[in-house]
Amino acid sequence: MRPQRADGNAQTASAVHEHLFERPVRPLPGPRRLLRDAGGVHAANGLIGLVFAATGPVAVILAVGAQGGLSQEELASWIFGAFFLNGVLTVVACWLYRQPLAFFWTIPGTVLVGPALTHLAWGQVVGAFFLTGVLVLLLGLTGWVRRAMAVVPMPIVMAMVAGVFLRFGVDLVRSLREDVAITAPMIVTFLALSALPGLGRRVPPVLGALAVGAVAVGLSGRFRPSASGTEWFAAPVVQVPQWSVQAALELVVPLAITVLVVQNGQGVAVLRAAGHEPPVNTVTIACGAWSLLTATVGTVSTCLTGPTNALLSASGARSRQYTAGIVCGLLAMVFGLLAPLVTGVMLATPVAFVATLGGLAMLRVLQAAFVTAFSTHFTLGALVTFVVTVSDVSAWNVGAPFWGLLAGLAVSWLLERPDHSDRGSVDRSAPGR
């Protein structure tokens, strides 16, 4: 009887393992298969995916860092983790599951950090990064991730995102007033490339705005690199976390929501629309574990990115699109190694250049946040969340995004009961669909 019990335990352990970690595709592609599957189209998609991540989203990191008073070395370390470390995860995941699985960092979570840095020490914020990684990892290991993602209705989450992102749109308009010579050409270029889809596919609008803005900065004579020079290669700064109840209350749950609901949810939806079946639980576990690693160099939580994966799976044979992800990951690693150079160059430009680039990059995301928040159900709860978040009012030193979520959920549960009932019936019927 004992051997049978042992076999049963082994089978149970194997079943649990398979439940937590979706099985990779076999056989794993070797070097010859990788070279055969890689082609011009897929390599180009990988390059475009990296260019997207390395332009506007980097400007968001720099804008948040400037708001929080981070040093150039700390910002370079953040970018190193965001690109090099997440690039390693991207390469491994794409190779194991033979589909595009690009991991970068949560942009909404990055934006949440900005207001927090006005009253929290950087070490306390890094401590919140670690705790967020632990929470996401536990949700993945217990298999509760789908239940956790269903607790807060998406419209209320996206209303919080819209409230936090609104500042980037406002800063874009202010930059146009304060530095029209740099901002106006960038906006005109972005609009022109967006209005001409054929040209916009060859030159992404944000990349075009970056190039034109760089020319405008050069012609203005206002490019001022550091007199002491800038190091080219990364020297990551190991960040020592400070454990703070205040930082945990303000950041951990909102950061976890942006990873699981906003970013991973979007990434999974994009890949499924392209015909892939992403390993949801493995992705969650990877995001939690990797967030612990990236936090050591001061990088916000890792996530499965939506826009980049959409670019990687935009064209080419579906069975070969994983090579676009591998190319993107390898290029991200190179970009991360050059993080000090990139950071120094960006910080040597006028404030309006970074603000405009970040605003243009966030424009479509802000639009999507508003549409999701106010187009279907839970609209009153979403409105309350948005108003409280935009107010930027803190209580007990806990920032407005947390209180926005709390207030929106409370009002929605009190006054939008039919929406919650309808949602429950949909959730209960989901397994049978």
Q: What is the mean pLDDT of residues 321-326?
A: 93
Confidence (pLDDT) at 431: 31
Task: Report which of residues 328 and 49 the model is more confident about.
Answer: 328
Range in 71-75, 78-82, 282-286, 331-335 with the lowest mean pLDDT: 71-75
Residue environment code for 377-408, b if the CB has 16+ CB neighbours within 10 A, otherwise e: bbbbbbbbbbebbbeeebeeebbbbbbbbebb
Torsions phi, psi for 317 (to 5 deg): -65, 130
Residue environment code for 229-255, b if the CB has 16+ CB neighbours within 10 A, otherwise e: ebbeebebbebebeebebbbbbbbbbb
Q: What is the mean pLDDT of residues 313-339?
A: 88
Secondary structure letter of residue 319 according to DSSP: G
Q: Count of residues for the chain?
A: 433
Question: Does pLDDT of 82 surpass 90?
Answer: yes
Q: Do 129 and 106 meet the contact criterion of CB atoms below 8 Å apart?
A: no
pLDDT digits (tens, 9 = 90+) for 113-162: 888 888 889 999 999 999 999 999 998 888 777 666 667 787 887 787 78
Q: Which two tokens stand for residue 150?
A: 């269903």
Question: Does pLDDT of 230 surpass 90?
Answer: no
Task: Report which of residues 372 and 228 the model is more confident about.
Answer: 372
Confidence (pLDDT) at 400: 75
pLDDT digits (tens, 9 = 90+) for 276-290: 888 988 999 999 999
pLDDT band at 209 (very low <50, low <70, confident <90, very high): confident
d(CA 258, CA 160): 10
pLDDT band at 418 (very low <50, low <70, confident <90, very high): confident
Confidence (pLDDT) at 12: 43
Q: Do 49 and 330 meet the contact criterion of CB atoms below 8 Å apart?
A: no
Q: Do 380 and 415 meet the contact criterion of CB atoms below 8 Å apart?
A: yes
Question: Does pLDDT of 45 surpass 90?
Answer: no
pLDDT digits (tens, 9 = 90+) for 234-249: 778 888 899 999 899 8
Q: Do 72 and 347 meet the contact criterion of CB atoms below 8 Å apart?
A: yes
Residue 343: closest CA among 209, 237, 169, 226: 226
Residue with tokens 């920032």: 399
CA 375, chain centre distance (Å):
23
Coil/strand/helix, residue 99: coil
Secondary structure letter of residue 259 according to DSSP: I
Range in 7-16, 60-69, 140-149, 196-205 with the lowest mean pLDDT: 7-16
pLDDT, averaged across the chain: 81
Residue with tokens 């352990």: 13
pLDDT band at 104 (very low <50, low <70, confident <90, very high): very high
d(CA 323, CA 279): 17
Q: What is the mean pLDDT of residues 197-223?
A: 80
Q: What is the mean pLDDT of residues 1-9?
A: 48
d(CA 65, CA 74): 9
Confidence (pLDDT) at 206: 74
